[in-house]
Amino acid sequence: MGRRSRSRSRSRSRDKHRSNKQRSRSRSPRERQKKSKSDRGREVESKWEKQDRKQYDRKEVTKEEHAAKAEALKPDPPEKEGVNLGLSGALTEETNTFNGVVIKYSEPPEARKPKRRWRFYVFKGEEVLPTLHIHRQSAFLMGRDRKVCDLPIDHPSCSKQHAVFQYRLVSRRRDDGTDGNKILPYIIDLGSANGTYLNNQRIEPNRYYELKEKDMLKFGFSTREYVLLHEDSGE
């Protein structure tokens, strides 16, 4: 009985396998090809959908990070400069250098070369020293430092950069009542130790003083007198 049941089950499985083969053979090659392509397409489509979703999520994160970094790297808006209420020709230390020396003074915007030929007539007691012609440039630095000074003052009581003789274009009222511009000479003391004297009166440092014909300047404790005249001055 056991042998017969086994032979029957074997014959049944063979018949089943043969019927499956016959069914697959009965299908046309186009149907089998369509089925295989559709199955593969479903698998590929689901795979790419997952990858697209991952890439999209990754791009979204990258955009947010990029925006945050760009916002952090934005420069601050420049501050608006306020109105400059400083005096014209204010000292600007450590801005100008000449012959390796820092110049304590910077010319004002209204600096101009004079049209009139001004001169310094220099006196030391009864002795008359060489005349200084001071009309070829708009400003003359005066002091002991010969490397940078236009008009050297060798007295030990004078500072290295003592004062500046400056021409400035200023507005003046004419004799007929109209306003006009005129180039006039000025003196400014650069904060010297022993001062600058206009007609024997010590002037305040870092302030312009207008000079007129026949005015006399002295520097420190030097006895030299610098008298301001021009080519049309009377004897």
pLDDT in tens, 15-25: 655 655 555 55
Average of per-residue pLDDT across 200-212: 96
Average of per-residue pLDDT across 210-217: 96
Average of per-residue pLDDT across 183-199: 97
pLDDT of 17 reads 56
Using an 8 Å Cβ cutoff, are 197 and 219 in contact? Answer: yes
pLDDT of 190 reads 96
Kindly report which listed range (16-30, 88-102, 194-208) carries the lowest average pLDDT score: 16-30
Token pair for residue 69?
């970094």
Q: Looking at this protein, which amino acid is placed at residue 204? A: E
Q: Cα(219)–Cα(162) distance, rounded to whole angstroms?
A: 8
pTM assigned to the model: 0.59
Q: Which helix (H) or strand (E) holds 100?
A: none
Kindly report which listed range (15-19, 104-108, 133-137, 201-205) carries the lowest average pLDDT score: 15-19
In the numeric block, the tokens 């002795």 are attached to 127
Check residues 111 and 24 and name the one with the higher pLDDT: 111
Q: Which of 119, 117, 91, 124 is nearest to 218 (CA)?
A: 124
Three-point CA angle 209, 103, 227, nearest 5°: 35
The count of other CB atoms within 10 Å of the CB of residue 228 is: 20
Positive/negative CA dihedral, 21, 23, 29, 32:
negative
Count how many Cα atoms sit within 13 Å of the Cα of residue 5 in the half-sphere of its side chain.
Answer: 2
Question: How buried is 206 (Cβ within 10 angstroms: 0-12 exposed, 13-18 middle, 19+ buried)?
Answer: middle
Check residues 190 and 27 and name the one with the higher pLDDT: 190
Q: Return phi, psi of residue 159, to 5°.
A: -80, 165
Residue 235 reports pLDDT greater than 60: no
Q: Which of 138, 121, 131, 132 is nearest to 185 (CA)?
A: 138
Residue 89 reports pLDDT greater than 70: no
pLDDT of 24 reads 52
Q: Looking at this protein, which amino acid is placed at residue 119? A: R
DSSP secondary structure string, 55-97? Answer: HHHHHHHHHHHHHHHHHHTPPPPPPPP----SPTT---TTTEE
Q: Cα(230)–Cα(115) distance, rounded to whole angstroms?
A: 11
Q: Cα(173)–Cα(107) distance, rounded to whole angstroms?
A: 24
Token pair for residue 149?
């000074």
Q: Please state, rounded to an integer, the average pLDDT across all residues of the chain.
A: 77
Residue 220 reports pLDDT greater than 90: yes
Residue 78 reports pLDDT greater than 80: no
152: helix, coil or strand? strand
